[in-house]
């Protein structure tokens, strides 16, 4: 990571990957804008970062599935010339049978996992391009690649998996569009991670002032952050923590090209 001071905007910063990533960025000298629904947790994290790193920390209490809150955070992402790192980490799962998924929760998943990611990226990227530097990390999931796999032991996840598939395609396509610019762009696809993510479907945040870990366990969050930062240094667009051999990701791109080539031949 560069030691150049700038400001990083981190969504979903009240726990898990977002909190750990914010801490790591602050330790590298980044000022931070912390965004999440749980104000007390944000205040606690902000105090720790200020005391431990001496960086400037701003908190924005916001539910990014709410239009007014999203507009407020989007304005912050676009304002001024200080946002040099955007981590779109906020997300909810809404796991469960599709036919029984509450319409309100389905809309919330789409608004948070798709609309907020897109809007905040659109707000931050033009300024990064103008300044000639910037980093974008969008957090997806390994479940983005699990569409054909049945549930059990995987969760019932049609909407969640679909939204994370969008994040993968959106980020990869944007990275291709901006190839040759100074921007670093990554989609981070963690698998099961030792956070509290599975303790709530997302309609309400997990209560309590202290972070917890769901019973399913998973990869420690620090290892997920390590993998992401290492992939940024090597220019990998798709980061799958724990995947040591990049061949599957390379094969994905090759399969996409083969499908498009065959489709063009069939239409000629």
Helices 39-53 and 16-27: crossing angle, nearest 10°?
A: 20
pTM for the full predicted model: 0.93
Alpha-helical (H) ranges within 28-157 are 39-53, 67-78, 103-110, 117-131
Alpha carbons within 13 A on the beta-carbon side of 21: 32
Q: What is the pLDDT along the chain (268 residues), one digit of tens a residue?
A: 434 579 999 999 999 999 999 999 999 999 999 999 999 999 999 999 999 999 999 999 999 999 999 999 999 999 867 999 999 999 999 999 999 999 999 999 999 999 999 999 999 999 999 999 999 999 999 999 999 999 999 999 999 999 999 999 999 999 999 999 999 999 999 999 988 787 788 777 777 777 767 677 799 999 999 999 999 999 999 999 999 998 999 999 999 999 999 978 765 4
Residue 209 CA to residue 199 CA, distance in Å, equals 15
Catalytic residue IDs: 160
Residue 159 CA to residue 106 CA, distance in Å, equals 7
Q: The tokens of 136 are what?
A: 């974008």
Which CATH code is given to the segment(s) 7-267?
3.40.50.720
Distances from the Cα of 128 to the Cαs of 4, 80, 85, in angstroms?
14, 11, 9
Per the CB < 8 A criterion, the answer to whether 14 and 205 are in contact is: yes
What is the residue extent of each domain of the chain? 7-267
Q: The tokens of 254 are what?
A: 């090759």
In 114-134, which positions are buried (b, 16+ CB within 10 angstroms) versus exposed (e)?
bbbbbbbbebbbebbeeeebb
186 phi and psi angles, rounded to 5 deg: -145, 145
């Amino acid at each position: 990571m560069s030691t150049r001071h700038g400001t990083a905007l981190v969504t979903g910063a009240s726990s898990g990957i977002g909190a750990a990533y914010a801490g790591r960025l602050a330790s590298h000298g980044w000022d931070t804008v912390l965004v999440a629904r749980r104000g007390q947790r944000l205040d606690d994290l902000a105090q720790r970062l200020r005391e431990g790193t001496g960086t400037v920390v701003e908190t924005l209490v916001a539910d990014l599935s709410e239009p007014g809150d999203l507009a407020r955070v989007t304005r912050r992402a676009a304002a001024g010339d200080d946002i040099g790192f955007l981590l779109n980490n906020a997300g909810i799962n809404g796991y469960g049978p599709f036919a029984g998924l509450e319409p309100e929760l389905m809309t919330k998943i789409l608004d948070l996992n798709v609309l907020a990611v897109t809007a905040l990226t659109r707000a931050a990227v033009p300024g990064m391009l103008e300044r000639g530097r910037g980093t974008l990390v969008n957090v997806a999931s390994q479940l983005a690649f699990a569409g054909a796999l049945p549930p059990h032991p995987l969760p019932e996840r049609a909407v969640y998996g679909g939204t994370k598939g969008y994040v993968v395609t959106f980020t990869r396509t944007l990275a291709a569009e901006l190839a040759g610019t100074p921007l670093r762009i990554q989609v981070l696809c963690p698998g099961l991670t030792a956070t509290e993510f599975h303790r709530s479907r997302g309609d309400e945040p997990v209560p309590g002032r202290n972070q917890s870990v769901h019973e399913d366990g998973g990869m420690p969050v620090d290892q997920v952050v390590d993998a992401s930062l290492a992939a940024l240094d090597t220019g990998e667009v798709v980061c799958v923590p724990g995947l040591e051999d990049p061949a599957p990701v390379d094969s994905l791109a090759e399969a996409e090209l083969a499908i498009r080539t065959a489709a063009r031949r069939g239409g000629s």
